[in-house]
Amino acid sequence: MSRTTEQPAPGQQPAPELQSAEPSGAEPSGAEQSGAEQPTNDRTTRRRRRTILLVVLAVLVVAAVVIAVVAVRSAAETPAEAVAATAPVPVRVAHVPDGTKIGVVVTLGDGEGSEWADAAQGALVAQRRLQLGGTTVQLVAQDDAGSTDGARAAVEALAKQGVAGIVVASSGRHVDGAFAAASSAGIPVVAPYAAGSDDAWSTAPSTDSTASAMRSALGSAKSPLLVDLGGGAPSGLQVAHVVDAVRDADTAALATTIAERTGVAAQTADTTTGSGADAPVAADSDAVVLSGPAARQGALVAALQSADVTAPIILTADATSPTFAAALTQAGGSLSGGFRTVGVETDDARALHPDATGRSMSAFLGGLRVLADDADAKNLTGDRPFSSVAPVADARSHDAVIALVRAVGTARSDEPSAVADALATLDLSGSDGLAGPDLVFRTHEAMRSPASVLASSAQDLGLRPAASDDSADASGSPSLVWFADDTER
């Protein structure tokens, strides 16, 4: 069922003259007339004092002039953009027709791609920032149920409602159904969490750069073990061993197997004494790669922590979704494990950059705080307050909406084919309202920044509001911040 969310069209004084201490022609005092005689060097001493006073005043005047010049020059040379954005910056897009609609496909429940459902709420921040800039658009949300048929039906429903473009905020094989249906209907699609295709623009890192970043994350590992939890083998990554755990529901047993294969001594029972003893275990792996849904990765990482696995663990990009941290903590794991994955820096740590990059993310976070403070603001499906998802709404879905609305403005039309043609010409950056890296839509892989190794931090940067207390089912679990990791491995 589709639900529409529409936000309401919310100088220097001159130096005094020095007077002579001994006026010319002065008569001797009474004391002098009575016989008191002045020393012959008094006049010389007074002259020296006058000279010193004049020099001191001259130095003070010169110093004041120099300070004034330096201050003026410093102010003139400070670039205007050096001032950080501490308030939400409106996004202004001209020539957007009244009634423009943008579709957002999400996966609710536990289906494939559902880990992005809360992250997709960043689309609402884009809508509010556009509103602040004088542009009103409607967001129409549709659930694809995590299946190919559901994805196709979701796009068909959005087409009937007259959307100008669609953000497919899900991932997995099933999104191909959405891409194909949108192509048939002539509707442009932007996918922030899935790889691109001939039928859609992706703002995720390219497959090649992701593979390169994965190799960098593994560093000097010679015999990595891939644990397939349903994501398959990452493209372009060579591994020595594979464990097929797609249908393995026993997470504890799987963790024990991985522990043994990475050199953690197994605890065996002595049948005669009943005492435990460490038995040597032949290890064949020196690193672990987890590939699959965020929920399964989180649960397995918690089990690996319990099993004392110390080998490097590399996660696929699903781990950057809010679900990974939630699943990890729900399984009793610790967020302070120093996890690594690959991708581009689109998280809150980006706001700490002392340049235009940081200001763009700060503007997004400012808009998010304003929306979270609005008691009437709801999530995409209208069943929860936006404040309940504000801790995890991300910049990737926000930027996808900004891109489509920019295309509408460029086309001066909300007719899908015209919007698609306009989108294919766009090069967008922070000055256009993006919060993340620049996007170039001249190819279907719009993300120009290559993927890199990302590390996690459980530190609260204090840039987002906490989840509202009245939403027990909200994304109130502790979250992770992902940032670029330049550590040598």
Write a three-state SS string for 201-242. EECCCCHHHHHHHHHHHHCCCCCEEEEECCCCCCCCCCCCEE
- Mean pLDDT across 429-455: 96
What mean pLDDT comes out for the span 116-135?
A: 98
Mean predicted confidence (pLDDT) in 65-77:
32
What are the pLDDT digits (tens) for 392-439?
999 999 999 999 999 999 999 999 999 999 999 999 999 999 999 999
Is the pLDDT at 472 greater than 60? The verdict is: no
**How many angstroms separate the CA atoms of 95 and 419, rounded?**
12
Q: Does the pLDDT at position 367 exceed 70?
A: yes
Say yes or no to pLDDT of 488 above 70: no
Of all helices (H) and strands (E), which one includes residue 477?
A: none
Distance CA 172, CA 170 (A): 7
In three-state secondary structure terms, 481 is strand
Q: How far is CA 46 from the centre of its chain?
A: 72
Report residue 43's pLDDT band, with 50, 70 and 90 as the boundaries. very low
pLDDT band of 465, cuts 50, 70, 90: confident
pLDDT at 182 over 80: yes
Residue listed under structure tokens 């694809």: 144
pLDDT at 333 over 70: yes
Report the pLDDT averaged over residues 383-396. 96
pLDDT at 79: 29
Q: Is 343 helix (H, G, I), strand (E, B) or coil?
A: strand
Whole-angstrom distance, CA of residue 101 vs CA of residue 237: 40
Tell me the per-residue pLDDT of 224-241, one tens digit each, with 9 for 90 and over: 999 999 999 998 899 999
What's the token pair of residue 464? Answer: 């987002």
Cα separation, 238 vs 37, in Å, equals 107
pLDDT value of position 40: 41
Q: Model confidence at 489, in pLDDT bands (50, 70, 90)? A: low
pLDDT of residue 254: 96
Above 70 in pLDDT, residue 62?
A: no
The answer to whether the beta carbons of residues 455 and 339 sit under 8 Å apart is yes
Average pLDDT on 97-123 reads 97
Cα–Cα distance, 451 to 214 (Å, whole number): 9
Q: What is the pLDDT of residue 87?
A: 55
For the ranges 5-9, 202-206, 255-259, 298-302, which has the lowest average pLDDT? 5-9
Average pLDDT of the segment spanning 275-288: 70
- Over residues 74-87, the mean pLDDT reads 37
The torsion angle over the Cα atoms of residues 125, 129, 135 and 137, rounded to 10 degrees, is 0
Total-model pTM: 0.80
Report the percentage of the chain scoring pLDDT > 70. Answer: 76
> Which pLDDT value is given to residue 196?
80
Name the residue with higher pLDDT: 470 or 244: 244
Mean pLDDT of the chain: 82
Confidence band for 282, pLDDT divided at 50, 70 and 90: confident
Buried b / exposed e along 152-168 (16+ C-beta atoms within 10 A): bbbbebbbeeebbbbbb
Confidence of residue 360 (pLDDT cuts 50, 70, 90): very high
pLDDT-based confidence at 272, cuts 50/70/90? very low
Percent of the chain whose pLDDT exceeds 90: 71
Higher pLDDT residue, 18 or 37? 37
Q: Where is average pLDDT lowest: 84-98, 169-183, 287-301?
A: 84-98
Q: Is the pLDDT of residue 278 over 90?
A: no
pLDDT of residue 38: 42
- Helix axis angle, 416-423 to 395-411, nearest 10°: 110
Task: Give the confidence band of 477 by pLDDT, cuts at 50, 70, 90.
Answer: low
Average pLDDT (79-95) is: 65
Q: Residue 27 — pLDDT band, cuts 50, 70, 90?
A: very low
pLDDT of residue 2: 42
β-strands 189-191, 201-202 pairing = parallel
Q: Where are the alpha helices (DSSP H) in 312-428?
A: 322-330, 356-372, 395-411, 416-423
Whether residue 116 has pLDDT greater than 90: yes
